[in-house]
Amino acid sequence: MGFQISSTGFAANQMIPKKFTCDGDDGSPQLTWKDAPAGAKSFALIMDDPDAPVGTWVHWVLFNLPGEAKELPEGVAKQQQLPDGSLQGHNDFRKIGYGGPCPPPGKPHRYFFKLYALDAKLDLKAGASKADVERAMKGHVIGEAELIGRYGR
């Protein structure tokens, strides 16, 4: 099957529970991954919504997760650096850490949790943007896994 990411909070392509959104506690869901490529020195996670009216909306930027990591707990703290040394960037809410789904009323949006296995740590500071992380990852991605959830109001 290869590199995979999943959550105990919701199944792939299913609705994200309200508690993980701006209509609830706005805490991040638990995420687990398996079968990461050998040689992964770090991981980067980007969560975004390509269905947002203004174009793709970035909900979470997390990078330099240790290469031996296999999961993120529910409710990751919204701080620049986590105890394991992982760093968080700015989302499009102009905040550090996770910002849950918060779409306008209408058709449910899709939320992509994209996990990248990298052959190096990224030379970036906390607060980096999605674009900064994507630039820094160029030439270092050795695997990618994706989980899609949906949410509508």
Tens digits of pLDDT across the chain (153 residues) = 699 999 999 999 999 999 999 999 999 999 999 999 999 999 999 999 999 999 999 999 999 999 999 999 999 999 999 999 999 999 999 999 999 999 999 999 999 999 999 999 999 999 999 999 999 999 999 999 999 999 999
- Is this model's pTM higher than 0.85 or not? yes
Q: What is the rounded CA–CA span in Å between residue 148 and residue 7?
A: 10
Please give the pLDDT value at position 1: 66
In this predicted structure, what is the pLDDT of residue 126? 97
Single-letter amino acid, residue 63:
F
Contacts of 3 (CB under 8 A, 6+ apart): 33, 34, 35, 36, 37, 115, 117, 143, 144, 145
Identify the structural domains of the chain with CATH numbers, from first to last. Answer: 4-151 (3.90.280.10)
User: 78-95 burial, b for 16+ CB within 10 Å, e for fewer?
Assistant: beeebeeebbbbbbbbee
List C-alpha distances in Å: 74 to 17, 26, 63, 97, 128. 13, 11, 17, 13, 22
What pLDDT score was predicted for residue 17?
A: 98
